[in-house]
Structure 1
């Protein structure tokens, strides 16, 4: 396997991982006002292939263990005897920061992918001459 295809493989695995992370962040933002919703988090690990190339691997999606906010609304259908119910534990500031970080990582992987593709194309042009 050539070094160019290894670089493209690594960057494409990073693209997939960050795209998945952005989907999780979008799901969290969409459920900010859903009572009882627990924020989802995703972790990455390094996966070594037979060829010796390391790629980004997704670990399982986990739920944030922090308790949701207790909200007083006696008229809410999920309220208990004291008039409280548990809201979601999603913090929009944290989600915006995670989305921005995932977006920048995605852009970096895309730039690396494009650079490897351009270098490979340039090498082919040189070999044709």
Structure 2
């Protein structure tokens, strides 16, 4: 029974990590047109829980250091004397791919969690007899 609970705990940590990743990806998509916005990324780290079990957790949010796009629009209020202003460094294709990957990873962790839950319910039913 302990192994089933451990697997549920590991998959729940994966669910939390992918949910946070998806949240930051959606923030990036929402701010793709915000001048000066830098893409946020969240790294995953292994967190030892003891007994040879590692869960996943998210690290500190990091800002992508790639250059922001310079946009020419002399009428924009943030434009400098040359008519350029800093756009964002968000690439929508990359963000959509990250969102899709996070969604699929979330679904995989959810299936593992559900399978472990069903197995533990079956085990309890057998022990009840």
TM-score, normalised to structure 1, is 0.97
* 1:34 corresponds to: 34
CA distance in 2, matches of 1:76, 1:31: 17
Q: Which runs of 5+ in 1 are unaligned?
A: none
- Please report the RMSD computed on the Cα atoms of aligned residues, expressed in angstroms: 1.0
Matches within 5 A, 1:28-107: 28-107=28-107
Distance in 1 (CA, whole Å) between partners of 2:24 and 2:84 is: 28
Per-residue Cα deviation, 1:34-90 (whole angstroms, up to 9, x for no partner) = 000000001001000244421001110100011111110111111111000010000
C-alpha distance in 1 between matches for 2:56 and 2:47: 6
Alignment deviations for residues 74-128 of structure 1 (CA, whole Å, 9 cap, x no partner): 1111111100001000000000000000000000000000000000001111111
Structure 1 moving runs of 4+ over 2 Å: 50-53
Query: 2:25 matched to which residue of 1?
Result: 25
Q: Give the Cα–Cα distance (whole angstroms) in 2 for the partners of residues 5 and 123 of structure 1.
A: 12
SS at match of 1:49: strand
